[in-house]
Amino acid sequence: MKVSLIPNERGNVLLCAVCTIFILSLIAANVLLNCTARYNQASNQVRSWNEALYAAESGADMAYNEVRKIASNPTNAFSATNGWTTSGTTYTSGTTTFGTNSMHVSETVDLFYTDPTTGNAWYRIRSKGTSPLQGLKRTGMDDRLSNGNRFVANGSTRGDGDTLLRKIDFKYDHFTATYGPTGDGTNKAIVAVSPAPQLSRRIELIAAPVTPFEVAIKVTGDFYGLGSAAYIDSYRSSVGPYDPTVKTNPSDSRYADSQSGTVEIDNGTATIMGDIYGNLYTNGGTATKKTLNVHGTIDNNVPFTLDSFSIPTYLPAPQASPTRINSNTTITPPAAGTARAPTVYLLSSFDKQLTINQNGSSQTYVAIHLTSNFTGQIDVKPGVHVQFFIDGNVDIKARDIINETGYAGNLQFYSISPTDGSSQHVNIDSPGNFVATFYAPSADFTMNGNPDVTGAIVAKSFHGNGNTSWHYDRTLNFLGDVTDYRIASYIEDIR
Amino acid sequence: MKLTHHSHQSGFTLAEIMTAMAVAVVIFAAIITASLAMQKIFNAVDNYFATHIQQLRIIDYLNRDVKRALIVTTSVDQQTVTLTIPKYIIQSGDAEAVINPSMVGAMRSPTISTTTSGFQVNYGTTTSTVVYAINGASILRTEDGVVTTIASSTDQLVPSTTDADLTNTEYSTMAVTFQPIFTSGNVAAERTGTTVFSLAYLRNKRRG
């Protein structure tokens, strides 16, 4: 028998092909893994860094909301029930956690400045927002900027690229370690972060008081006026007395101050006549420069609101007398007082003349609270600053307002908003001129005749048909009680 | 029984070897080519992502500084941005630091001044100047003379910033593009397709 031993020489092409594909697949998978892992890491860091700012700004908004309550609802500002603790004039929040990524935020607010003229307080808001960093404790894609100094615990050499910008706390809080928990260099400590890693950003905002008389006329409702030959301009009393020629003389150094006779109307319905040497703002109005003598800017998209007004809570106890002005009366306050601690008079009626003298040669501060209507006459002598709070209506003639100081800011009328929602009005008839300001956010303001007015008004509505010459004093911008707060400065602590 | 043993265990014929070698060369050439292609893809994608991250970094740097800037000005070619920023942190050489060197690095308390435009919040008596500019393949941020390279890429990163100053506000728009290294046509679409855009308002603008 013959046995043939011819070996099987068949190839293994399929195996080779599979192996080749497998190797190439491994390489491809490695490419994807490297790229996506690094990209995701880096993009997570970018996201968390931005989220930390959102958190910080949210915290600042919460703190700002509390600051605004100081003007509108002081008894409920920084209340313990909302998690705030108070130490003197410093307020500290608890930690608020929110969002799907468990961001958290904490804030501190402190009174850092008191205006010496008005006594209005300025507040500093510091907010720290933190966002946990998703993924592993890895750096991003910084190799293109590597200089060999990464993660050195030194503020001047700490990393580069993303590390330098985002300052990720992989394990320990770099800020507390380097600058202390409040950033002032005290109580430095190595503190582990939790959860780790995480990113924190810190911002500092300054809340500045908004004073009532920032423009010549400000109303939330209907506006009609003034007469067709009327005008509203401005000047700055701290520079010099009013000069009617300045508003049309651009070469005059005071010209810039003459162009702030601004009118703000939170309404689309406004009948505007006369010349306005300032800006005109409406809320949805149709004012155009073709039809109006507005020498400044027209903006028909400026909505605003005015809170109702209540008497300040800081006023001292009133004097024993007088308690009513039903005959001509002269008072000399027993002390000069200050803007925040004036001499207070509580009056139940006022239909005759009240003359207020200066205390010696000192600037004298007086507050009057009238619990009924004002139909009398007031005479403010030089050196006297009067805030006149009125519960009822005002029905007087322009000549009944005698402000011998010459400065509108020295005679401020405030109409206290009725708590029952009833209507309120301020009517000023001819004859006469006056120098004063009115803050009456719940009142309908009517002015008849052609008075020469120096001052500003804030009201619910305004109607004036006379050919009035109205001069807004730009120093009013700094006077009066705080009515709200606005953010005046924004800083990020980038350490 | 006669056992016949075929002992001619000869190798492949020349033709077989040549054929096998030719096939092998083709296979290895394919593997090497594919590997090189993969390597190039890896480099390209890695570079693209890395440059993209740097785009975001430039935008984030600019956004952060614009938000806290008092003044922003851009050059005509839109590639150099100069910002004036409050000096929140006491730096070496500042008046406070000269009096008390331990104050370097501490925060300043703001002061309030009155100007013809109204109240003004000040951090110290001077401000910091920050300049963003392109230098070769790098984007530089210079703060009071101290230079930091915030991005560097061979992909021709180009930031472009415009500044809009309105009546009562101001904002800056920023766009950063680059030319991916794996592109071949050098057409505009290859650059514009990488655009990252951002807009930031000056929260610290001093209003007149």
Task: Identify whether B45 is part of a domain.
Answer: yes
Task: ipTM value, please give it.
Answer: 0.84
Domain of residue B156 covers: 14-87+126-201
Q: How far is A1 from chain B (nearest CA, A)?
A: 7
* Of A244-253, A332-341, A471-480, B154-163, the least confident: B154-163
pTM, entire model: 0.83
Smallest CA–CA distance from B150 into chain A, residue: A161
Q: How far is A164 from chain B (nearest CA, A)?
A: 9
Task: Identify whether B81 is part of a domain.
Answer: yes
Contact (CB, 8 A) for A229 and A467: yes
pLDDT of residue A9: 54
Contact (CB, 8 A) for A172 and A137: no
Task: Identify whether B134 is part of a domain.
Answer: yes
Q: pLDDT band at residue A150, thresholds of 50, 70 and 90?
A: very low
How many other C-beta atoms lie within 10 A of the C-beta of residue A254? 17
Q: Give the start-to-end residue ranges of the domains of chain A.
A: 48-135+145-210+487-493, 217-483
Cβ-based contacts of B46 with chain A (< 8 Å): 34-35, 38
Chosen from B57, B102, B156, B203 to mutate, greatest number of chain A CBs within 10 A: B57
Q: pLDDT band at residue A142, thresholds of 50, 70 and 90?
A: low
Q: Do A185 and B86 touch (CB under 8 A)?
A: no
Q: How far is B151 from chain A (nearest CA, A)?
A: 7
Task: Identify whether B137 is part of a domain.
Answer: yes
pLDDT of residue A3: 52
Q: Is B26 on the interface with A (CB under 8 A)?
A: no
Task: Identify whether B93 is part of a domain.
Answer: no
Q: Which residues pair with A271 in a beta bridge?
A: A224
Domain count, chain B: 1
Task: Identify whether B107 is part of a domain.
Answer: no
Cβ-based contacts of B31 with chain A (< 8 Å): 20, 23-24
Sign of the alpha-carbon dihedral angle for B67, B68, B71, B72: negative
Chosen from B89, B107, B169 to mutate, greatest number of chain A CBs within 10 A: B107
Give dist(CA A454, CA A434) in Å, integer. Answer: 7
Give dist(CA B149, CA A160) in Å, integer. Answer: 8
Q: How far is B173 from chain A (nearest CA, A)?
A: 18
Give dist(CA B27, CA B35) in Å, integer. Answer: 12
Q: Which residues of chain B have pLDDT under 70?
A: 1-10, 167, 183-186, 188, 206-208
Instruction: Output the 3-class SS for A111-156.
Output: EEEECCCCCCEEEEEEEEEEEECCCCCCCCCCHHHCCCCCCCCCCC
Average pLDDT, chain A: 88
Model confidence at A436: pLDDT above 50? yes
pLDDT of residue A153: 43
Give dist(CA B206, CA B144) in Å, integer. Answer: 21
pLDDT digits (tens, 9 = 90+) for A260-277: 999 999 988 788 888 999
* Of A139-143, A163-167, A436-440, B44-48, the least confident: A139-143
